[in-house]
Amino acid sequence: MATTQERVNVPVFVSSTYEDLISYRDEVERCIIQMNQTIKGMEFFGSSPETPLDKCIRTIHECRVYIGIIGMRYGSIEEGSGKSFTELEYDEAIKNKLPVLIYILDENYPIAPKFVDTGEAAEKLKEFKSRLKKAHVVSMFTNPADLGRKVTQDLMDELKKDRTIEASIRRIPSRSEREDYEILKGFLRRPHKYYGQEIELDLYLTPNQTSSAKVSLCKGLGLQVGDVSYIGATAKSSDGKESCSITMLGEGEMADWIDTIKEPRTAKVKVRLAYCTIKEDTKHDSGIIIKEMIYKRLILLDVINDRLF
């Protein structure tokens, strides 16, 4: 029997300069995905007839929360206003009355000189920071992990304040093993519909990992790169007449448990249903073709019991 929550997927806009804060944005992306929310930002924009600024502004209108990450660069300036894209994105979030979470890099934290503005840009950045500090309670951060922890806690608190979100989160009664298996089947057909649901399954596990989980896959699923193990898994229906094969991934302590499995065994586990899409290069006689692949995975949350097969 499993009890879970119906999760509400909230689009979150992440604003910052880019090149100097790539590792920070990656960590925030991982944290937001792990919370089963949707991140919106410049790295997710495809080709569009719109100007980059117009695309950013329109995307902000689609979001429910704004996160501003301020480093040591003011950023590209829009000629008409004399403001950076980052500050204009902030203005639009305020105009649309979005909850605003602001994070400013600690100026004592070491950073490459090429990522530190000087002259007029530095003055504009100083004025922007002063404006933000007067308008909001801001958080200072140092490394990407520090920023990720703060964003996770603050975003979680902010989502709890949103009554429209809170009202739409309801407790789902306990389900039978048959119903959890049907949810898994539904997930394999339509992953978006079942994304984020937590279920309990009896799985037959077959250790077959030969390398680390791919970086792009870990990022897409919101898992810590370099701390993930995976294993083949087969779930059977309660009557034993059907089965589904899928890969299960674990992070941290759950990865440690997966690493202990050296021979096939069965286990009852609690998992979260997750998927992501990744662009991959495929070699053909005519050259390299880029395809967008969808990966559906079980994320191991807890081991209820296990035994050798």
Write the CATH number for 26.
3.40.50.10140
CA atoms within 13 A on the CB side of 68: 30
Q: Are residues 189 and 126 in the same domain?
A: no
The fraction of the chain above a pLDDT of 70, given in percent, is 83
Q: Are residues 114 and 155 in the same domain?
A: yes
Q: What distance in Å separates the CA atoms of residue 20 and residue 72, rounded to the nearest whole number?
A: 8
Q: Are residues 196 and 269 in the same domain?
A: yes
Q: Are residues 183 and 162 in the same domain?
A: no
Task: For the beta carbon of residue 14, count every other beta carbon within 10 angstroms.
Answer: 25
pLDDT at 6 exceeding the cut of 90: no
Asked if the structure places residue 160 within a domain, the reply is yes
* Structure-model confidence comparison of residues 114 and 172, the more confident one: 114
pLDDT value, residue 158: 87
Q: Are residues 207 and 229 in the same domain?
A: yes
Give mean pLDDT, residues 181-198: 89
Q: What distance in Å separates the CA atoms of residue 138 and residue 149, rounded to the nearest whole number?
A: 15
- Residue finishing a domain among 126, 145, 166: 166
* Structure-model confidence comparison of residues 192 and 1, the more confident one: 192
Report the range of poorest mean pLDDT among 27-41, 127-141, 237-251, 253-267.
27-41
pLDDT value, residue 214: 84
pLDDT value, residue 275: 87
Q: Are residues 185 and 245 in the same domain?
A: yes
Query: Global pTM?
Result: 0.60
pLDDT value, residue 289: 66
pLDDT confidence tier of residue 4, bands split at 50, 70 and 90 = very low
pLDDT confidence tier of residue 288, bands split at 50, 70 and 90 = low
Q: What's the domain count of the chain?
A: 2
pLDDT value, residue 277: 84
pLDDT one-digit tens code per residue, 193-215:
888 888 999 999 998 765 677 88
Q: Are residues 25 and 162 in the same domain?
A: yes
Give Cα 96 distance to the centre of its chain: 24
Asked if the structure places residue 154 within a domain, the reply is yes
Q: What are phi and psi of 106, to 5 degrees?
A: -60, 125
Do 199 and 4 meet the contact criterion of CB atoms below 8 Å apart? Answer: yes
- Residue finishing a domain among 113, 137, 166: 166
Can you tell me whether residue 308 is helix, strand or coil?
A: strand
| Domain range enclosing 193 | 176-308
The fraction of the chain above a pLDDT of 90, given in percent, is 48
Q: Are residues 204 and 104 in the same domain?
A: no
Q: Are residues 21 and 128 in the same domain?
A: yes
pLDDT value, residue 290: 65
**Assigned token pair, 29:** 């992306």
Q: Are residues 146 and 215 in the same domain?
A: no
Q: Are residues 150 and 197 in the same domain?
A: no
Q: What is the mean pLDDT of the chain?
A: 84
Q: Are residues 51 and 161 in the same domain?
A: yes
Query: The CATH number of the domain where 250 resides is what?
Result: 2.40.50.140
- Residue finishing a domain among 166, 197, 218: 166
pLDDT confidence tier of residue 269, bands split at 50, 70 and 90 = very high
Residue 308: is it exposed, middle or buried by C-beta count within 10 angstroms (0-12/13-18/19+)?
exposed
Give mean pLDDT, residues 221-234: 89
What residues does 307 pair with on adjacent strands? 266
Asked if the structure places residue 171 within a domain, the reply is no
pLDDT confidence tier of residue 46, bands split at 50, 70 and 90 = very low
pLDDT confidence tier of residue 172, bands split at 50, 70 and 90 = very low
